[in-house]
């Protein structure tokens, strides 16, 4: 069943309005509603006194309209009495100054008292709703979570380190604490890496300590969630458990670890945000976020918060244009969503999110946004069963490494370098060619892919290097980019030439490197005639000065003291190949490389589509479902890969090409069930 619904806050509105809301939801085609993730003060108005009557009545009204419910554990936003009971439970940011009451996610994830209160409210909800026929699943908390540096976390960190290293001598050796005479002689001497420890304002902590603290803090949220998951699994064994993550852009938690406890991943997809005030997130960035969330468990995902209007707390973002809400939602589905839940139902009249617009206006009127989603609901009713459970299949994979992300937060290497932006730069070149890519972890099975990309895999273990090498040995094509293999798992630079444990695979050695100033770049000269270059590619940000040991030179630098030295190399290795890209390039570089790499790896790409048109495939068994999305504001002509039918309209006339209006979406399938 395809889930289509909305996030609803009945506690914000008079009970006399609930029936009308449920009626409008039913008319919009909604079959699922998320409730209660911010309702702790209504659910437990005083310690140990639980009130579920109001929520029971709201659920009953929805259930009567054929709508089922996902409940959120309300621990992201505690009532004032909880924090008054535990005044030392406030989260302490890196500044060292604790937050105060008034927002959300202000709690410390290691605080024993706060976690005990969280278990109590979770247990009470789980017990009450375990057998409710309208409740189908749970969302833990809400958008975990920011790092805390309080005294409780510092003590817990010291215990975490003692368990990890066993002895202080081992820790001191791993971190190289002899530097600056930071040799620890008691576990209690080890600090949390507060910004106040940096007298020059550069945040310079021991890299080993800082990386371990980031790992520890991620583990704290995983453990906090696990306590709730254990309660819910025991009390509600037939319900699913998920969490609403924040896409690939959020880099404070290891999402692979957080997702391990979940039945499937959900995430919150916002394309226009008030804090960036940009017109829209580019389609390739949204596609990358969907891809990353799908890769956390190699499963289809839910979008638990799909944008329903302008976002806004203090500032109101640009309004979604007609057709954009549907377009963005269908893009989610095209990349693997099996549920679209819009945030929010009605725009709030009070509180911080007064300008985070929903499908209904502040006064409860239906809007053009509601009408647009109601139309989509009718379409989902026709095609949802054909989509649900279908899968995205990829032959290209890109490694996403949280240790490397954390390490780059500690030492950026170059102020212009951003790990996620680098991942997107590469991904965008494949997205432009409508090539499916999986985002995976180093612990995943590489053998299902033909092309494996390791972008700036800064912290590289010998085990991961061995797995990458084995993949190439057995016939795969590997791509390695700069700053890969620089550090070992302790965030210490390896004692071998870079790219460290992958130097033999790549057939090169990095002799030195040049960190480029802002705005400085240089064109590259290609020696490989198989690479189709339509625009001169440039090196920027970083240049590794490479010596080719066994590898062939594919491109060379043209300027500076390392002019004519290799910038891109190709090394035959076993039955496969390794490509080393020694610089962070511009869009022209990754575009040129993507086409060549697909041929090198023997990955068949879909036919090119016009600029602004995205084509994605989901497979239902042997049947191909082709999503064609026109992100542009102009009409577009698209030639199809085979004769297909338009599922959204139910047209039975076979199509070999389609005309798309601005922001139009088509879902197409072969006339028979055995489409290629």
Q: Token pair of 362, please?
A: 């502040």
- 550, 516 contact by CB (below 8 A): no
Other C-beta atoms closer than 10 Å to the C-beta of 247 total 19
Local structure of 330: helix, strand or coil: helix
- 168, 187 contact by CB (below 8 A): yes
Distances 483 to 202, 427, 444, 542 between C-alpha atoms, Å? 21, 18, 22, 9
Which one of 37, 44, 305, 324 is the catalytic residue?
A: 305
Q: Token pair of 236, please?
A: 């509600």
Question: What DSSP state is assigned to residue 352?
Answer: T
Alpha-carbon distance 334 to 606, whole Å?
15
Other C-beta atoms closer than 10 Å to the C-beta of 515 total 12
Active-site residue flag, 305: yes
Q: Token pair of 599, please?
A: 């041929």
Question: What DSSP state is assigned to residue 191?
Answer: P
Burial class (CB in 10 A: 0-12, 13-18, 19+), 467: middle
Alpha-carbon distance 391 to 625, whole Å?
10
Which one of 37, 44, 143, 372 is the catalytic residue?
A: 143
Active-site residue flag, 509: no
> Whose CA is closest to 264, among 233, 219, 301, 212?
301
Alpha-carbon distance 145 to 270, whole Å?
18
Complete edge-to-edge strand list for the sheet that includes strand 135-139: 240-242, 135-139, 68-72, 32-35, 3-7, 337-343, 301-307, 266-269, 244-245
Q: Token pair of 189, please?
A: 């001497």
- 420, 402 contact by CB (below 8 A): no
Q: Give first-to-last CA distance, the chain, whole Å.
A: 24
Q: Which residues contact 424 (CB under 8 A, 6 or more apart)?
A: 284, 285, 288
Q: Which residues contact 177 (CB under 8 A, 6 or more apart)?
A: 171, 183, 184, 206
Other C-beta atoms closer than 10 Å to the C-beta of 409 total 15
Q: What is the DSSP string of 360-421?
A: B-TTS-B-HHHHHHHHHHHHHHHHHHHHTT-B---SEEEE--HHHHHHHHH--SSTT--HHH
Q: Which residues contact 26 (CB under 8 A, 6 or more apart)?
A: 65, 66, 67
- 43, 52 contact by CB (below 8 A): yes
- List the catalytic residues: 143, 305
């Amino acid at each position: 069943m395809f889930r289509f619904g909305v996030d609803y806050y009945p506690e914000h509105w008079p009970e006399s309005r609930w029936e009308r809301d449920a009626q409008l939801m039913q008319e919009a085609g909604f079959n699922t509603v998320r409730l209660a993730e911010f309702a702790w003060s209504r659910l437990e108005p005083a310690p140990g006194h639980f009130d579920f009557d109001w929520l029971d009545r709201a659920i009953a009204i929805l259930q009567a309209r054929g709508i089922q419910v996902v409940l959120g554990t309300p621990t992201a936003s505690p009532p004032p009495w909880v924090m008054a009971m535990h005044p030392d439970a406030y989260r302490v940011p890196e500044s060292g100054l604790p937050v105060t009451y008034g927002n959300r996610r202000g709690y410390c994830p290691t605080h024993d008292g706060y976690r005990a209160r969280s278990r109590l409210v979770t247990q009470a909800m789980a017990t009450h709703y375990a057998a409710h026929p309208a409740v189908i699943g749970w969302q833990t908390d809400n958008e975990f979570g920011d790092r805390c540096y309080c005294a409780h976390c510092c003590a817990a960190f010291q215990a975490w380190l003692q368990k990890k290293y066993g002895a202080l001598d081992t820790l001191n050796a791993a971190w190289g604490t002899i530097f600056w005479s930071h040799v620890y002689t008691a576990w209690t001497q080890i600090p949390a890496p507060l910004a106040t420890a940096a007298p020059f304002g550069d945040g310079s902590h021991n890299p080993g300590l800082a990386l371990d603290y980031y790992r520890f803090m991620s583990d704290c949220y995983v453990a906090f969630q696990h306590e709730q998951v254990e309660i819910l699994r025991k009390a509600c064994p037939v319900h699913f458990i998920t969490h609403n993550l924040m896409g690939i852009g959020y880099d404070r938690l290891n999402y692979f670890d957080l997702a391990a406890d979940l039945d499937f991943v959900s995430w919150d997809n916002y394309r226009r945000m008030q804090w960036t005030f940009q017109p829209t997130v580019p389609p390739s960035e949204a596609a990358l976020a969907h891809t990353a969330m799908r890769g956390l468990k190699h499963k289809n995902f839910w979008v638990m918060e799909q944008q329903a209007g302008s976002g806004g707390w203090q500032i109101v973002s640009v309004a979604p244009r007609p057709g954009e809400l549907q377009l963005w939602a269908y893009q989610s589905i095209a990349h693997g969503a099996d549920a679209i839940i819009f945030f929010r139902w009605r725009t709030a009249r009070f509180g911080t999110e007064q300008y985070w617009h929903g499908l209904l206006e502040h006064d409860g009127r239906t809007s053009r946004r509601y009408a647009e989603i109601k139309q989509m609901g009718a379409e989902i009713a026709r095609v949802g069963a054909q989509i649900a459970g279908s899968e995205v299949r990829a032959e290209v994979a890109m490694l996403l490494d949280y240790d490397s992300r954390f390490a780059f937060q500690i030492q950026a290497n170059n102020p212009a370098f951003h790990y996620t932006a680098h991942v997107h730069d590469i991904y965008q070149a494949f997205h432009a060619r409508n090539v499916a890519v999986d985002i995976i972890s180093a612990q995943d099975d590489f053998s299902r892919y033909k092309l494996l990309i390791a972008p700036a895999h800064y912290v590289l273990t010998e085990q991961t290097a061995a797995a990458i090498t084995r993949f190439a040995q057995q016939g795969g094509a590997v791509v390695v980019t700069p700053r890969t293999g620089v550090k070992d798992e302790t965030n210490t630079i390896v004692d071998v030439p870079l790219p460290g444990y992958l130097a033999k695979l790549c057939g090169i050695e990095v002799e030195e490197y040049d960190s480029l100033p802002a705005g400085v770049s240089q064109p590259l000269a290609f020696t490989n005639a198989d690479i189709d270059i339509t625009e001169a590619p440039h090196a920027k940000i970083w240049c590794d000065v490479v010596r080719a040991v066994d590898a062939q030179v594919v491109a060379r630098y043209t300027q500076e003291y390392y002019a004519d030295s290799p910038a891109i190399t190709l090394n035959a290795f076993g039955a496969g190949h390794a490509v080393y890209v020694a610089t962070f390039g511009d869009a022209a570089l990754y575009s040129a490389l993507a086409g060549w790499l697909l041929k090198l790896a023997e990955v068949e790409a879909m036919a090119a589509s016009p600029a602004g048109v995205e084509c994605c495939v989901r497979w239902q068994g042997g049947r191909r479902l082709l999503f064609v999305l026109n992100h542009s504001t102009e009409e577009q002509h698209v030639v199809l890969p085979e004769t297909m039918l338009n599922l959204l309209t139910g047209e039975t006339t076979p199509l070999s090409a389609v005309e798309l209006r601005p922001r139009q979406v088509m879902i197409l399938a072969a006339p028979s069930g055995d489409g290629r």
